[in-house]
Amino acid sequence: MTAPGHTHVQNSIAGLVDLALSSPTFTDLIDRAQARPDTLAMVGPAGVRLFVAAALARTGPLLVVTATGREADDLTAELKAVFGEAVTLFPSWETLPHERLSPGVETVGARMMVLRRLAHPDDEHLGPPLQVVVTTTRSLLQPMAPALGDLEPVTLTVGVEADFDATIARLVELAYTRVDMVAKRGEFAVRGGILDVFAPTAEHPVRVEFWGDEVSEMRMFSVADQRSITEIEVSHLVAVPCREILLTEAVKERARQLVDAQPQTDNTVAGSIGDMLAKLSEGIPADGMEALLPVLQPDELTLLTSHLPKGTPVLVCDPEKVRSRAADLIRTGREFLEASWSVAAIGGAAPVDVEALGGSGFRELDEVRAAAEHWWTLSQLNDESAVELDVRPAPSARTQHAVEEIFAMLRAHVLTGGFAAVVTPGAGTAHRVVEQLGESDTPATILEPGAQPAAGVVGVLKGPLHDGLVVPGANLVIITETDLTGNRVAATDGKRLAAKRRNVVDPLALAAGDLVVHDQHGIGKFVEMTERVIGGARREYLVLEYASAKRGGGTDKLYVPMDSLDQLSRYVGGQAPTLSRLGGSDWTNTKTKARKAVREIAGELVSLYAKRQAAPGHAFGPDTPWQAEMEDAFGFTETMDQMTAIAEVKADMEKPVPMDRVICGDVGYGKTEIAVRAAFKAVQDGKQVAVLVPTTLLADQHLQTFTARTAGFPVTVKGLSRFTDPADSKATLEGMADGSVDIVIGTHRLLQTAVRWKDLGLVIVDEEQRFGVEHKEHIKSLRTHVDVLTMSATPIPRTLEMSLAGIREMSTILTPPEERFPVLTYVGPHDDKQVAAALRRELLRDGQAFYIHNRVKSIDQAAARVQAMVPEARVVVAHGQMPEEALEKTVEGFWNRDFDILVCTTIVETGLDISNANTLIVERADTFGLSQLHQLRGRVGRSRERGYAYFLYPPENPLTETAHDRLATIAQ
């Protein structure tokens, strides 16, 4: 970290923060902090956190502690906009110490990089010396192995010598996994003198070319297609460890001693402590091995505070919440200790003393406080002994202030010579705010990054600030987009990397016997990869097996060169097909029959679509500047498939014939954003938009999304379903008829004859396959005169056939956003203690959980059991035999966070998107099919929180071979 003194970094809101800190309330605080008191208590609203942390950081290095991970993420983003890379987040594990699950490689990598930077502040390759470290209660209390910051990473630089073999050996020591093709963080691959490494802290993997033992070239490449990313120059690689406990010779020897100490333990019982120790003794990593740290490295464990420069103060935000969170962590950690290891020891004495594993896995808060030299707190609750900061929250839509009131206040403030700023997350929104302020006769201008607002003019700038603040001592008012819209924008790094396309054949992922389809030759069976020398050139080939062209002649083989893989795709049909014959007419006949079948089902539909093509439609104009602004505010980087689909939709809308396009892609692949952009484009042309969804829950979800994405623009979005208040429904219907409502999101109520539109221009249909026949016919009739955009994860066969026949256009989104945090999956015997601990761990982070019990007859008893396990939770039941209205209300209540745990059947398998529910517990997982298990797991891990899936089976029932294989597959 830096020595005392402020390093002024010209980042986006640095100037704004400097202006606020000129206030006497902050200059006095800086003077107090420089005296380095043991304790310092402060009181102020939530929005003052950034400014207090920035003020205290001027006096020297600082550790800031928040109660939750979300708060830490947000505060880190804000502080980085002031101090740049001199600020970092020290994240907590997604798992609890005794949860039998290892933390994700990205999380471990981020932690190891912070510890390395703290231990070696002068290493220029790691970034500038750290000024502020932000962390959570969990990370503050969790002990770590000593000297982690001194573990030497793999460091490579272009033009500098490095022993090739030693580098590979060191990557293995640092817990990297060697693979044939790099796809995930923590992996590396070797091909000749080329080394591919995906460091856990990197945005993209790096390809390193060696010339002997010298690094001759280095470049980033894409996981999606393995091609180099030429736009990003790279000359240096730092690959930190992927685990916090490495399998050194000392650790392996200690594991052997623990196993040998109690030979009667059955070390062959899968999942037992003995089994885990036996693997570790052989150098084989085991999931959850981090929990054995206290006995494998019995040296004194360390806390984060001991890795900081001596005398670093600890600033605790909301100390009351932190203390409560600490107590919950210790209790839940103790439950996992008892559930995981006590169960694991059944059948024989545990080879270690369970208590020696460190109790809950966390230190007491008072113990950590005693070890810290300076313990400073910032609370929102009044305390007579605390320093009360002279600031107050800014007026906000969340406190019932209208935007017009906020703008009027800003106008009055700047016209009297005051300073004012509006901070928005996107540049497009910033320009729109300047326009709106201008329309209200308020002087406003766009601020350059790092600049201070001038007196008498509202400065509008892009930045990550969440809560507005009034600082009287600096005559400053700060308003955020959250204050204007009432919607809090989550901190995001805006980066999503594309994973591999699902249908493209990855030769390294093929197993013998897998079916593939060749464009010219049809369906064949993969045999192997091989090398052949032809014409003096050595090339790699895929060997495919086909039915023999001669009757009774066995099989024929086709050799496909690796540079012709674009002609291959995976077979995705239903039943097992017969293999095509090489050189015969089988495949041609098959395709001909398919085309004929598609033509036959068209019939009157072709006539309908001919009418549509002949009918005069509305040709929408090109994108407006507002369209670009709205799209710029999207919080993520679009995948290539998304960009292609958006372009295709816009091109269709700009044609003079009605659009009829299907967007096909899995849940979470970004279909809704395409719909939002299409709807906004339609509204820009003065047209109205109907968004048709099959359930009230989806209607509410889309209403929230569309409202948030169009906030700040003159677009009126309303909802219409059977649960909408009658007065609101009446007002919405009137608005649809007179044109004052632009976008209406609703269920089949939108199809009723009483509904009148002033100028409907676009209909968006989500999940078309879930509507009834009558509703589908009504939707079909719309297609002759308005643009129709259909979205579906699994299009109905007729829709699919019509798109294949060219009757309806289809855009497919095959590239998912990168799974930054893959779902952590646990497969094991059912144990109530572990279930209770897993549910409590989810409640600890203010999340929700699905509990799958797939028998309606006994589901109420299962819910009662869950309620008894976790009495503080709000438990509700849902299943398919409930009345439809009751089911929808229950699920909607869960989505609205009225309940914590949904005990349900497999009705959650598809179509449910509840981002706050990130723990899934499945009873009797041995009775489910593999596709069901995959679908269920897809319900969690859909937000920035790590998802957990527990697939449990009765400990007393032996697994069938099929069930064992399914569970083993889902666990991988």
What 3 state SS string does 928-939 have? CCHHHHHHHHCC
Query: Which of 3.30.565.10, 2.40.50.220, 3.40.50.300, 3.40.630.10 would CATH assign to domain 604-813?
Result: 3.40.50.300
Q: What is the helix (H) or strand (E) element at residue 499, kind and residue range?
A: none
What are the residue ranges spanned by the domains of the chain? 14-148+300-388, 152-239, 392-485, 507-602, 604-813, 824-971
On whether the 392-485 domain is CATH 3.40.228.10, my answer is: no
pTM of the predicted structure, to 2 decimals: 0.72
Give the C-alpha distances (Å, rounded to integers) separating 204 from 156, 217, 345. Answer: 16, 16, 42
Answer whether 140's CB lies under 8 Å from 303's CB: yes
At 540, the pLDDT band (50, 70, 90 cuts) reads confident
How much is the average pLDDT of 3-32? 80
| Residue whose entry in the numeric block shows the structure tokens 């010209």 | 10
Q: Is the pLDDT of residue 773 over 90?
A: no
> Would 14-148+300-388 and 392-485 be classified into the same CATH topology?
yes
428-483 pLDDT per residue, tens: 788 888 988 998 899 999 999 999 999 999 999 999 999 999 999 999 999 998 88
Lowest mean pLDDT among 42-46, 460-464, 488-492, 889-893: 488-492
Q: Is the pLDDT of residue 658 over 90?
A: no
CA 148/CA 163 separation, integer angstroms: 24
CA 607/CA 542 separation, integer angstroms: 45
Domain spanning 507-602, CATH class: mainly beta
Beta strands in 771-861 (DSSP E): 787-792, 809-813, 824-829, 848-852
Of the candidates 215, 73, 47, 209, the residue with the CA atom closest to the CA atom of residue 134: 73
Of the candidates 314, 316, 323, 309, the residue with the CA atom closest to the CA atom of residue 374: 314
939-961 pLDDT per residue, tens: 888 776 788 999 999 988 777 76
Neighbouring CB atoms inside 10 A of 344's CB total 23
266-293 pLDDT per residue, tens: 455 555 677 788 889 898 998 888 888 8
Read off the DSSP letter of residue 624: P
Answer whether 469's CB lies under 8 Å from 48's CB: yes
Answer whether 543's CB lies under 8 Å from 529's CB: yes
CA angle, 667 as apex, 663 and 673 as ends, to 5°?
A: 60
CA 273/CA 283 separation, integer angstroms: 15
Q: Which two tokens stand for residue 110?
A: 């981020």
Maximum C-alpha span of the chain? 96
Q: What is the pLDDT of residue 615?
A: 64
CA 12/CA 448 separation, integer angstroms: 8
Fold for 152-239, please state it: Penicillin-binding protein 1b fold (3.30.2060)
Lowest mean pLDDT among 431-435, 537-541, 777-781: 777-781
Neighbouring CB atoms inside 10 A of 400's CB total 9
Of the candidates 496, 714, 716, the residue with the CA atom closest to the CA atom of residue 626: 714
Q: Is the pLDDT of residue 497 over 60?
A: no
Spell out a b/e string for 844-858, using b for 16 or more CB atoms within 10 Å of the CB, else e: bbebbbbbbbbeeee
Of the candidates 387, 448, 510, the residue with the CA atom closest to the CA atom of residue 26: 387
The more confident residue out of 609 and 432 is: 432
At 909, the pLDDT band (50, 70, 90 cuts) reads low
CATH superfamily for domain 14-148+300-388:
P-loop containing nucleotide triphosphate hydrolases (3.40.50.300)
Q: Which two tokens stand for residue 515?
A: 């079916």
Strand-pair partners of 904 = 852, 878
Q: What is the pLDDT of residue 2?
A: 39
The more confident residue out of 874 and 940 is: 874
C-alpha of 255 from chain center: 36
- Backbone region of residue 55 per phi and psi (left: phi > 0; alpha: psi in -120 to 50; beta: other values): alpha
Q: Is the pLDDT of residue 360 over 60?
A: yes
Neighbouring CB atoms inside 10 A of 686's CB total 14
Q: What is the pLDDT of residue 237?
A: 96
Q: What is the pLDDT of residue 572?
A: 66
Q: Is the pLDDT of residue 802 over 80?
A: no
Answer whether 955's CB lies under 8 Å from 831's CB: yes
Q: What is the Cβ-side half-sphere exposure of residue 287, based on CA atoms within 13 angstroms?
A: 15
- The percent of residues above 90 in pLDDT, for the chain, comes to 47
Q: What is the pLDDT of residue 972?
A: 62
Of the candidates 665, 664, 712, 709, the residue with the CA atom closest to the CA atom of residue 689: 709
Q: What is the pLDDT of residue 936?
A: 84
**Three-class secondary structure of residue 473 per DSSP:** helix
CA 947/CA 921 separation, integer angstroms: 11
Q: What phi and psi, each to the nearest 5 degrees, are found at residue 715?
A: -125, 125
How much is the average pLDDT of 111-123? 96
C-alpha of 487 from chain center: 19
Instruction: Give the sign of the dihedral formed by CA 51, CA 54, CA 56, CA 58.
Output: negative
Strand order of the β-sheet with 87-90 is 87-90, 132-136, 62-66, 314-317, 375-379, 39-43, 387-388
The more confident residue out of 412 and 356 is: 412
CA 944/CA 325 separation, integer angstroms: 20
Side chain identity at residue 94, one-letter code: E
125-184 pLDDT per residue, tens: 899 999 999 999 999 999 999 899 999 999 999 999 999 999 999 999 999 999 999 988
Give the C-alpha distances (Å, rounded to integers) separating 512 from 183, 192, 544, 545. Answer: 21, 25, 10, 10
Side chain identity at residue 870, one-letter code: V
CA 502/CA 841 separation, integer angstroms: 33
675-684 pLDDT per residue, tens: 999 999 999 9
Of the candidates 356, 310, 307, the residue with the CA atom closest to the CA atom of residue 148: 307
Q: Which two tokens stand for residue 653?
A: 């809308």
Neighbouring CB atoms inside 10 A of 507's CB total 17
Q: Is the pLDDT of residue 1 over 50?
A: no
Q: Which two tokens stand for residue 620?
A: 């929408």
Which residues, 6+ apart, have CB-to-CB distance to 574 below 8 Å?
none
Answer whether 466's CB lies under 8 Å from 497's CB: no
**Three-class secondary structure of residue 505 per DSSP:** coil
Answer whether 581's CB lies under 8 Å from 575's CB: no
CA 462/CA 425 separation, integer angstroms: 5
CA 635/CA 456 separation, integer angstroms: 32
At 496, the pLDDT band (50, 70, 90 cuts) reads very low
Q: Is the pLDDT of residue 592 over 80?
A: no
Q: Which two tokens stand for residue 871?
A: 């009495």
Q: Is the pLDDT of residue 530 over 90?
A: no
- Listed in sequence order, the DSSP H helices in 152-234 are 164-173
C-alpha of 147 from chain center: 31
Q: What is the pLDDT of residue 580?
A: 87
Give the C-alpha distances (Å, rounded to integers) separating 603 from 596, 766, 771, 785, 802. Answer: 12, 25, 22, 20, 11
- Listed in sequence order, the DSSP H helices in 636-685 are 640-653, 671-684
| Residue whose entry in the numeric block shows the structure tokens 């981090």 | 290
Q: Which two tokens stand for residue 183?
A: 């796809």
CA angle, 113 as apex, 918 and 945 as ends, to 5°?
A: 10
- The percent of residues above 70 in pLDDT, for the chain, comes to 84
DSSP class per residue in 31-61: HHHHT--SEEEEE--GGGHHHHHHHHHTTS-
How much is the average pLDDT of 74-82? 95
CATH superfamily for domain 824-971:
P-loop containing nucleotide triphosphate hydrolases (3.40.50.300)
The mean pLDDT of the chain is 84
Lowest mean pLDDT among 60-74, 196-210, 882-896: 882-896
Strand-pair partners of 788 = 660, 763
Q: Is the pLDDT of residue 816 over 90?
A: no
CA 17/CA 79 separation, integer angstroms: 10
DSSP percent split of the chain into helix, strand, coil, nearest 5 = 40, 20, 40
Read off the DSSP letter of residue 487: -
Answer whether 790's CB lies under 8 Å from 765's CB: yes
